[in-house]
Structure 1
């Protein structure tokens, strides 16, 4: 499974959706999850960069797992997600700053409106229980959300689905930003 995680890590970095050492990826496997280690370069994932931890309980391996492990756990507990991608997509971060910590990003492109609907912006510190609860709550009704000033979280039945949601989030945020920039210049 780490090979699939590596594939999407390379795609995320290659398409500018995340800088190499930021973001994380996980996959649910029954009552456990495979998650990237803290500080892992997503374009260089190997079997040694992936940690297997329980979903319901903390583990001694949490110390080397992603700092967002608590967030992934809560999402898996409260949603039907089988895969999660967290990226630091630049336009999504900018749009979250413009929307505010409890705001909503309203896509202006037809694909964003159709596939995503309104995109929730959630607050909470990196790797905090507050963030975990806020995200899990929003992702129970949305396929993706943006953490205020931090980045996107996307869920799916597969990493491929979570990746597509990540690209849709960033595409809609980029279109919205460029549209609003052009509208101001008129």
Structure 2
């Protein structure tokens, strides 16, 4: 499974959806999850770049797991997700900073169809507040944007979470250009 995580990490970096050492990826396996290590370069993930931690409670490997492990746990507990991709998509982050409310409305038909409104949530990196806000938003949406930080997308498999990530960024890019052209 680490090879699948590595493949998605490389795609995220190659497409500019993250800088190498930012973002994280996880997969749920029963009552455990595989998650990228803290500080792991997503375009260079090896078997050692992924750790297995429990979903309920904490474990010793939390010390080296992504700082967002608490957020991934909450999402898995409160949604049907089996995979999570967290990226730092530049247009999504920009629109979260410009948003006048807690939703981004896609202007493009694909975004409207596949995403609907995209929630913008608050909370510090790896905080209980972020875990609560994101797991609540993702209970009824396939992706959300953390204000000034990045996107979280869920899926039944990693490829689905990756596609949702790319769709959010595409829709945010279209929305940004559309709003700019209307000024």
TM-score normalised by L of structure 2? 0.99
CA distance in 1, matches of 2:71, 2:32: 14
Match of 1:161 in 2: 160
CA distance in 2, matches of 1:182, 1:15: 25
Match of 2:31 in 1: 31
SS of residue matched to 2:66: coil
Give 1:4-83 correspondences, 5 Å limit: 4-83=4-83
1:34-72 alpha-carbon deviations (Å, 9 max, x no partner): 000000000000000000000011011101000000000
TM-score normalised by L of structure 1? 0.97
1:67-123 alpha-carbon deviations (Å, 9 max, x no partner): 0000000000000000000000000000000115x6110000010001000000000
Alignment of 1:140 onto 2:109:
no
Paired residues in the alignment total 183
CA distance in 1, matches of 2:140, 2:52: 27
What value does the CA root-mean-square deviation take over the aligned residues? Answer: 0.7
Give 1:122-141 correspondences, 5 Å limit: 122-141=121-140
Structure 1 stretches lacking a partner, 5+ long: none
Match of 2:177 in 1: 178
SS of residue matched to 1:126: coil
Match of 1:116 in 2: 115
CA distance in 1, matches of 2:48, 2:129: 30
SS of residue matched to 1:146: strand
SS of residue matched to 1:86: strand
